[in-house]
Structure formats: C-alpha cells, structure tokens
C-alpha cells in the first residue's frame, strides 16, 4: 500500500540587509559601466564623423574618419580573442583587496581619463600633425579598450565572489543587467541636451559642438568611476566553495582550449556578438536619422525613453 508522503513547502531564503546593500552597490556598478560602453561604441563615432575634425582639411579628415571607424571595428572583433586573455590576467590576480576590485578602480579611472582625451580630439593634435595624431590615437584607443575590458571582465567575475548562493547570484545578475539597460538607454535621453547645453555655454550657439561632446565625455567618465567605486567599497569578495573550486591557476592555453571545446560557450558568444552589433548599429542609425533626415536631434530623447521603458519591463 503506497504511503502518502507530505511534501514540505519550499521557502525562499530572505536576503539580509547586507546582501541587499551589496546587490544595490553591485548593480550601480553597471550603470556607469554600460553608459561608458555606449559613449565609446556609439556616440564616439557620431562625434568623429560630425565634429572631431572640424577645421581639418576635408581630404585628411575623411582619411582619419576612415581610419578611426575601421580601427573600432577591428578592435571589437579582436575582443573575441583578447577578452579571454584579460580574463586570465584577472583570474590570476592576487592582492590584499581581492582579485576583482583593483581592476574595477584602476580600469575605470584609466579608461575614463583616456575617454576624455580622445573626445578632446587629443587636444586638437590632428590640426597640427595628422600623422602624429594617427599614431597617438591608435595607441591611446587600444590602451583605453584594454582597461575597459579589464573592468568589464572583473565586474561580472565578481558575482560568484560576492555570494555562493544561487538565488543571491541570480539577483545580483538581474540588478546588474537592469542598471546596465538604464545606463545604456539613458544615454540616448541625455546625449543631445548635454552636448547642446555645454556647446551653448561655450559658444552661444544652440548646436552640438566639440565643447559639448567633451563635456559629455567628462560626465560619462565621472559616472563610470563613481559606479566602479560603489562596487569596490560596497561589496566584499568572499572565500567560498565556488572560489575554492576555481583556485587552481590557469594558463592562457587552457582558457582557449576550454572555450574552443565548449560549443555552448561558442554559440552564446556568437549570439552576444550579434546582439551587441545590432545594438550599436541601431543606436547610431537612429541618431543620424533624427539629426540629418528628420532634422530634429532634440527629439532623439524619445527613442531613448522608449528603449529605457522597454528595458524596465523586460529586465
């Protein structure tokens, strides 16, 4: 005769106030981080093609625009190979502050400073010597991208270091994605008001000039650094079972072999690459549509507001 076994109701663990505070601090980290990526991947190209080389001979300006846009594409594709190497560097880092926090602070500060430098047009160097400008720009942009990637890799690598509880890790990831959506789409809301306002302050003209784009980069850089500091001082890296299991040092060769042999990772990576490509292209095309086709760049915030609202619902 079968016995009826009474099942106990499954109760979800309640998060402590400390875990909630850590989750908020971690989520805020991706707010500035995603805003930085949006400024670099989308609006920097807008700045390059519209304002960066004003005052430079058209033939040289076109040559430099082609160089920069091509470089950005090449670096984005190269990240498929470079990011695992940077991940290995982060994974093998050992400091008194942990392995992730130092890269959050160092990476965000260096990349933010360089973001401001390239949005300044390297202080007008192209007008003085465009060949020297080309050399300096390539070096600075590669350094910027490497330190941004170190920040990105260390940020998401912190999830298992903050908590070994799967429920808590899921909440951390969701908060990071939610803040990232806000930071990315929020740029579309503020980019035109910021660039127009600061250009007006500097020149008295209601347009988007180099001064406004420089101010935009400064603001994004400050937000990125503050967000990274929230992660560095608002979370704690814990020595738990997950981290102990992954304590063994890994080589770059092992990392690449692990990725190549894991078809699931390869397909997920391809999906993420296509998603990022579509995101960047869509935002850039929309901006050009509002500015040059519709002739109302001041209404571009509507696209950002709609995208942000959708992000709130789907996150």
**CATH classification at residue 271:** 1.20.1250
**What does the pLDDT look like over 152-179, one tens digit per residue?**
999 988 888 887 777 777 888 888 888 8
pLDDT reported for residue 210: 92
Two tokens at 30? 């991706």
Across 183-210, b (16+ Cβ under 10 Å) vs e yields bbbbbbbbbbebbbbbbbeeeeeeebbb
pLDDT reported for residue 177: 84
pLDDT reported for residue 84: 78
Q: Is residue 2 part of a domain?
A: no
- Give me the torsion for CA of 101, 105, 107, 113, rounded to 10°: 180
Q: Is residue 4 part of a domain?
A: no
Give the position of tokens 């912190």. Answer: 158
What is the per-residue DSSP string for the chain?
-PPPPPPPPP-PPPPPHHHHHHHHHHHHHHHHHHHHHHIIIIIHHHHIIIIITTTS-HHHHHHHHHHHHHHHHHHHHHHHHHHHHHHHHHHT---TT-SSHHHHHHHHHHHHHHHHHHHTHHHHHHHH-HHHHHHHHHHHHHHHHHHHHHHHHHHHHTHHHH---HHHHHHHHHHHHHHHHHHHHHHHHHHHHHHHHHHHHHHS-SS--HHHHHHHHHHHHHHHHHHHHHHHHH------HHHHHT-S---HHHHHHHHHT-HHHHHHHHHHHHHHHHHHHHHHHHHHIIIIISS-GGGTHHHHHHHHHHHHHH-
The answer to whether 178 touches 186, Cβ cutoff 8 Å, is no
Q: Is residue 5 part of a domain?
A: no
Query: What is the rounded distance in angstroms from the CA atom of residue 227 to the CA atom of residue 186?
Result: 15
What's the number of domains the chain is made of?
A: 1
First to last CA, the chain: 49
pLDDT reported for residue 56: 87
* 210-234 and 17-38 helices, crossing angle to 10°: 160
pLDDT reported for residue 18: 73
Q: Is residue 3 part of a domain?
A: no
Q: Is residue 61 part of a domain?
A: yes
pLDDT reported for residue 97: 85
Q: Which domain holds residue 283?
A: 24-314
Q: Is residue 15 part of a domain?
A: no
The answer to whether 305 touches 191, Cβ cutoff 8 Å, is no
CB-count exposure of residue 127 (10 Å: 0-12, 13-18, 19+): middle
Q: Is residue 159 part of a domain?
A: yes
pLDDT reported for residue 220: 97
Q: Is residue 19 part of a domain?
A: no
Which is nearest to 235 in space by CA: 18, 87, 88, 33? 18
Give the position of tokens 């079968």. Answer: 2
Question: Could you say which residues of the chain have pLDDT below 70?
Answer: 1-15, 239-284, 286, 288, 291-292, 301, 304, 307-308, 311-315
> What pTM was estimated for this model as a whole?
0.80
Dihedral sign, CA of 290, 51, 77, 157?
Answer: negative
């Amino acid at each position: 005769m079968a016995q009826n076994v009474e099942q106990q109701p499954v109760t979800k663990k309640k998060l402590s106030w400390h875990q909630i505070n850590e989750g908020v601090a971690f989520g805020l980290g991706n707010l500035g981080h995603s805003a930085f990526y949006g400024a670099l991947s989308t609006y920097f190209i807008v700045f390059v093609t519209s304002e960066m080389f004003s005052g430079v001979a058209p033939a040289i300006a076109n040559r430099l625009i082609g160089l920069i846009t091509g470089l950005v594409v090449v670096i984005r594709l190269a990240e498929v190979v470079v990011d695992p190497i940077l991940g290995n560097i982060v994974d093998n880092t050992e400091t008194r502050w942990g392995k992730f926090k130092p890269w959050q602070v160092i990476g965000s500060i260096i990349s933010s400073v360089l973001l401001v430098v390239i949005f300044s047009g390297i202080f007008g160097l192209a007008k003085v010597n465009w060949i020297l400008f080309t050399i300096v720009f390539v070096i600075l942009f590669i350094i910027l991208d490497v330190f941004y990637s170190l920040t990105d890799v260390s940020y998401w690598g912190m999830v298992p270091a903050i908590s070994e509880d799967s429920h808590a890790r899921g909440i951390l990831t969701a908060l990071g994605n939610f803040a990232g959506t806000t930071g990315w789409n929020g740029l579309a809301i503020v980019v035109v008001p910021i660039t127009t306002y600061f250009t007006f302050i500097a020149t008295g003209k209601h347009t988007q000039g180099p001064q406004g784009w420089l101010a935009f980069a400064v603001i994004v850089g400050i937000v990125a650094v503050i967000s990274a500091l929230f992660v560095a001082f608002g979370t704690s890296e814990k020595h738990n079972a997950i981290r102990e299991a992954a304590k063994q040092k890994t080589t770059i060769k092992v990392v690449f072999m692990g990725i190549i042999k894991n078809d699931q990772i390869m397909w997920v990576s391809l999906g993420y690459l296509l998603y990022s490509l579509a995101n960047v292209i869509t935002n850039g095309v929309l901006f050009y549509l509002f500015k040059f086709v519709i002739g109302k760049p001041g209404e571009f915030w509507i696209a950002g507001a709609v995208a942000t609202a959708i992000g709130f619902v789907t996150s």
